[in-house]
Structure 1
Amino acid sequence: MPTLTKLYTMKEASQHNTKDDCWIVIDGKVYDVSTYMDDHPGGDDVILATTGQDATDEFEDAGHSKSAKELMETMCIGELDTDVDTTDTALEDQPTSYPEKLMTLTKQYWAVPAAVVGISVVVGILYLRKK
């Protein structure tokens, strides 16, 4: 008896886009990675940046190990429904290029650039005081 596979649309998958509720789509499969966010070696922001789109290229470009791919299979919750017209389900506000993604992350995590500026100012002041 064949197992029934749950089908999800990209719209459904894209609605799960927070650290506590995160789904990603890779190679036509939908994964619930919510429980893995804190353990991901690349950080949760890398995964969050790929929600709402097919993350296959990003996943493959990162060069994940065989054990990482085996772990990922344990998080598979279904497959992407390819029969649905994706033109109306794509998120229009999702960035499409790397600079746009970077700007979106910078806006979400403004503390990182603020900390870099703050540290730079402190280092500059300390450097000038030594002269």
Structure 2
Amino acid sequence: MPTLTKLYTMQEASQHNSKDDCWVVIDGKVYDVSTYLEEHPGGDDVLLGATGKDATDEFEDAGHSKSARELMETFCIGELDPAPPAIPELEIYTKQPTDITQKLKDLTKQYWAVPVAVVGISVVIGVLYWRRR
């Protein structure tokens, strides 16, 4: 009978980021290293800094020994879910104008008439003036 492996998302793993509850993701596997923080030769800051992201590159760059890799397997609690994260559906709605917005719209409708009226009156006065001459 095959062993069922628990799948975790990166978001789930990143929520475990304290000294009392620390998970890291390395090479697609999720490790609960909470009990190992004080024993880690590089210090607990290294492990705490690796939470919330895939720390595979950092782990490989550190040049861990074969015994460190074997010890690491004892902390494995599952695997990273290979499915891409779900993209939330956007809500599309029409924003109803507020009273202030509506009042501003009304004022702009009224104020266009003033310059047009001034220009119209000026044209009429100009025509009358030129007729008298």
Identical counterparts, % of pairs: 78
Structure 2 match to 1:48? 48
Give the unaligned 5+ runs of structure 1: 89-131
Equivalent position SS for 1:3: coil
- CA distance in structure 2 between the aligned counterparts of 1:41 and 1:62, rounded to whole angstroms: 11
- CA distance in structure 2 between the aligned counterparts of 1:31 and 1:58, rounded to whole angstroms: 15
Q: Does 1:74 align with 2:56?
A: no
Q: Does 1:36 align with 2:31?
A: no
Moved over 2 A (4+): none
**Cα shift at 1:85:** 1.6
Q: How many residues align?
A: 88
Equivalent position SS for 2:12: helix
**Cα shift at 1:84:** 3.4
Q: Does 1:61 align with 2:61?
A: yes
**Cα shift at 1:23:** 0.2
**Cα shift at 1:86:** 7.3
Q: Does 1:27 align with 2:27?
A: yes
The change in CA–CA distance for 1:87 and 1:52 in structure 2 (over 3 A counts) is farther
Task: Give me the TM-score of the superposition, normalised by structure 1.
Answer: 0.64
**Cα shift at 1:87:** 7.3
Structure 2 match to 1:16? 16
Equivalent position SS for 1:78: strand
**Cα shift at 1:82:** 1.2
Give the unaligned 5+ runs of structure 2: 89-133
